[in-house]
C-alpha cells in the first residue's frame, strides 16, 4: 500500500513536513485518532501540522512528541468537526498513518449505551463489533489492482493495546467496562427505539457511528487498533428524553482531558515489540 502514497504541500497551518524522508528518522509509530470533541492533542510538544495525499485522498494530522516518543494525532471529523461519520475518509486516514510508519492506533469513540447498567460517562474498552454501515469505502482489498484477500476478525481490537489500556485505567482507579460489543450504524441520524431493542437482542452493548471501517482498515493495513468508547448518552428508547448532540459534546468535554492523559500514559508504557498477531497476513498463494 505504501508505494501508492505521495506527500503533498500543506496549505496554511503550522510548519510543514513535506517528504517522508523528513520524518523517516523520527520513529513515529504511535497514533491517536480523536473522535467527537477531541480535535487537538494538547499535551504534545513541538507539534507540527502535516498533510499527506494518498491514493484514497488527503489526510491531515498533527505530529508531536511526548517524552522520547513521537506521536501522530488525527482528528477524525476534521479540526472543526466538519465531517459527519459517513463522510470521513477512513481509507485515506489509515493509509496515511501506514505510510508514516505507524504501527499502533488508539482512538476515541462516542457511543450510546444499550444497557442500563452501562451509565452515561462510563468508559468502555470494546472488544467486538457488529457492522451495520452501508455506504462506506470499507476495504483496501477491492480487487482493482491487488489480490483478493479475506481478513480474519476473530479478535477485531488489538488485545495488547486493550490490555495496556485496561492496566492504565485500573492503575488509576478509574471505573471502566472491560469488553463489550460496539454496533456501528451508518448515521448521521440516531437510532429508533425499535432498532435499539433489536441491537440489544443481538448482544450489542454500545452503539456508535465511527469504529467501522476504521478498525477493519487498520487490521487490513496490519496496524494494531483499539478504541476507548465514551458513553455520552443512553440509547434511544432507553434514554428518558430525545437524544441531542449537545448532550454528547457535554460528556466528551468532561472526559477529554482525562483521555488525553490516559492515552499518552499507555503510549509511554507500551513495549516496542508487538505481541499480538494484528500484523500477520495469511499466505494466499494457493496451489492450483
**Cβ distance to ligand HPA smaller for residue 44 or 123:** 123
Query: Residue 54 — φ and ψ, nearest 5°?
Result: -110, 170
CB of 245 to ligand HPA, least distance (A): 9
CB of 233 to ligand HPA, least distance (A): 5
**Cβ distance to ligand HPA smaller for residue 64 or 180:** 180
- Tell whether residue 71 is a contact of ligand HPA (CB under 6 A): no
- Tell whether residue 111 is a contact of ligand HPA (CB under 6 A): yes
Helix, strand, coil % (nearest 5) of the chain?
25, 25, 45
Distance CA(137)–CA(135), nearest Å, equals 7
Footprint on residues 195-254 left by ligand HPA (CB under 6 A) = 207-209, 232-233, 235, 243, 248
**Cβ distance to ligand HPA smaller for residue 88 or 111:** 111
Q: Which of 62, 64, 50, 57 is nearest to 11 (CA)?
A: 50
8 Å CB contact between 111 and 117: no
- Tell whether residue 34 is a contact of ligand HPA (CB under 6 A): no
| Cα separation values, 73 from 13, 83, 168, 273, Å | 15, 17, 20, 21
Query: Residue 250 — φ and ψ, nearest 5°?
Result: -60, -40
- Binding stretches for ligand HPA (CB under 6 A): 110-112, 185, 190-191, 207-209, 232-233, 235, 243, 248
Amino acid at each position: 500500500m505504501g508505494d501508492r502514497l505521495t506527500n503533498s504541500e500543506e496549505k496554511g497551518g503550522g510548519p510543514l513536513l513535506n517528504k517522508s524522508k523528513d520524518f523517516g528518522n523520527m520513529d513515529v509509530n504511535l497514533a491517536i485518532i480523536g473522535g467527537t470533541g477531541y480535535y487537538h492533542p494538547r499535551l504534545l510538544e513541538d507539534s507540527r501540522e502535516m498533510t499527506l495525499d494518498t491514493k484514497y485522498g488527503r489526510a491531515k494530522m498533527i505530529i508531536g512528541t511526548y517524552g522520547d516518543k513521537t506521536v501522530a494525532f488525527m482528528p477524525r471529523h476534521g479540526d472543526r468537526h466538519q465531517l459527519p461519520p459517513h463522510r470521513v475518509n477512513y481509507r485515506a486516514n489509515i493509509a496515511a498513518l501506514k505510510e508514516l510508519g505507524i504501527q499502533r492506533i488508539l482512538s476515541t469513540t462516542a457511543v450510546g449505551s444499550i444497557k442500563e447498567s452501562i451509565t452515561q460517562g462510563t468508559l468502555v474498552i470494546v472488544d467486538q463489533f457488529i457492522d451495520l454501515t452501508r455506504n462506506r469505502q470499507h476495504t483496501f482489498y477491492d480487487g482493482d489492482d491487488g489480490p483478493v484477500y479475506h481478513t480474519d476478525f476473530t479478535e477485531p481490537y488489538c488485545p495488547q493495546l486493550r490490555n495496556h489500556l485496561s492496566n492504565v485505567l485500573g492503575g488509576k482507579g478509574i471505573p471502566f467496562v472491560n469488553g463489550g460489543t460496539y454496533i456501528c450504524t451508518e448515521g448521521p441520524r440516531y437510532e429508533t427505539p425499535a432498532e435499539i431493542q433489536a441491537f440489544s437482542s443481538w448482544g450489542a452493548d454500545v452503539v456508535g457511528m465511527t469504529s467501522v471501517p476504521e478498525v477493519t482498515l487498520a487490521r487490513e493495513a496490519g496496524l494494531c487498533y483499539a478504541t476507548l468508547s465514551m458513553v455520552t448518552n443512553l440509547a434511544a428508547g432507553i434514554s428518558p428524553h430525545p437524544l441531542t448532540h449537545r448532550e454528547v459534546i457535554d460528556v466528551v468535554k468532561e472526559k477529554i482531558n482525562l483521555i488525553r492523559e490516559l492515552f499518552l500514559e499507555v503510549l509511554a508504557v507500551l513495549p516496542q515489540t508487538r505481541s499480538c498477531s494484528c500484523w500477520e497476513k495469511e499466505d494466499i498463494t494457493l496451489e492450483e
